Structure 1
Amino acid sequence: MKDITAEFCALDLERFAFFFDFDGTLAEIAPRPQDVVLSPGLRRDLGQLYLRTRGAVAIITGRQSSELVSLVGPDLPVAGLHGMDFPDAAPTPDRIVAARVAAIRSLLPDLARLIADHPGALLEDKRQGFALHWRGAPEAEAALTHAAQEALARLGDGWSLQPGKSVIEIRPAGDDKGTALRRFLTLPAFRGRRPIAFGDDLNDLPMLASAQAAGGIAVAMGEVPLAADLRLAGPEALAAWLNERLAA
């Protein structure tokens, strides 16, 4: 990692655009996605950052964007499903969405039976994809990983496998979090600013790499050894840094 500590500690809010993953970055990971909460102080500071940067703040998440409205508020732009669900983008044609949903529906009964055999494991239905979580059932990792690989083989072309921390996901191939960051940089609120991206997992690597390629900063969160310029211990450290920057 290059030594950017001084620059990071004195970051000029007028010159940067801010991009955050959600789970594991802004909020601590919980056994179930629906149990994740955002601290009131961090939600307030994100709102202040949005105002101070005149809108140059976005969240890029693997969740569906609608899931985050109650957590971060309606103002912050959210690119969901690893960037596939981009705010104000032309919607994916109905026939393509319907075909994807039908393909995933055909897999869910077998996956649900597998999850039932591993108490503590979780099947997350994302409509145009799914995720298998084993944080609550570590012994299920091999079985769930194998099931996801088999599902990918059944689905065929046009789908990708995304591993993560105690999770493996099937999603449509194509856009990723890096694509989403680059799209945000073309929008008026972000244009001309250097990106700084924060992420904690393998699916954040494209976002971190795109920030660096655009002359910005990549910040890795937590213990996963991601290629980045700087590392923070986790959401609490990020919240403390952001609060300090806003007070400067």
Structure 2
Amino acid sequence: MNLDSKIAIVTGASSGIGAEFSKMLVENGAEVYGLARSLDKMKNLQKSLGDKFHPVKMDITNADALEEWVDDTFDLNHIPDILINNAGVMYSANVDDLSMSEWHTMINVNLNGIFYLTRLIVPLMKNNENTCHIINISSIAGLLGNPTISGYNASKFGVRGFSEALFKELRYDGIKVTCVFPGSIDTELFEKIDGIDNHPNMMKTTDISSTVKFLLETDDNFLINEITMRPLNPKDPTN
């Protein structure tokens, strides 16, 4: 895919790798609709990216609001080529300490939100004469379970299963589906988790965005349906 003049949707676009995906896409000529709950952060991002970045205040767990926005924004003359389902949240606690609210928030944001938006975008992509691409951002936690993140594991394992089924379902419609499994990235996600400190050996947001750029730019009949990324040395060099 040539990214120039393509139409992209990025969820969780206000910070971290979502903001980096938006920057990468705009710099390569794409028009980007960035979805996030923080409109102020996205307006600041728009100041640096310009008018090709469209901030959209959206809670992706609100299926009705998503449907209204998609109906108002897209039609057969304005069809998305790229969907990057990136929004995510993580809470860390032993299973007997994890609250019902935290569990439901992770399942709703990390898994249900992907379904809510994807089910609306797929019919449009099926009418796109160009090859389209859906990229679902899972996590290394979608491959390996670990203590204290059982809810996050469950949601991200779910993203993998959804992505694999979706890739097999949509491949003959000219729609690629890739599930991305990053390890530790230097973003706000880890800053909010007790006992985890960001450090220089974590991957950079640009490491992830450059890999996603490569995935998007592969030939139309070539698909990488899963890709895992890790720091070579994951340990904090200051310890």
Q: Which has the larger radius of gyration?
A: 1
TM-score (norm 1): 0.41
TM-score (norm 2): 0.42
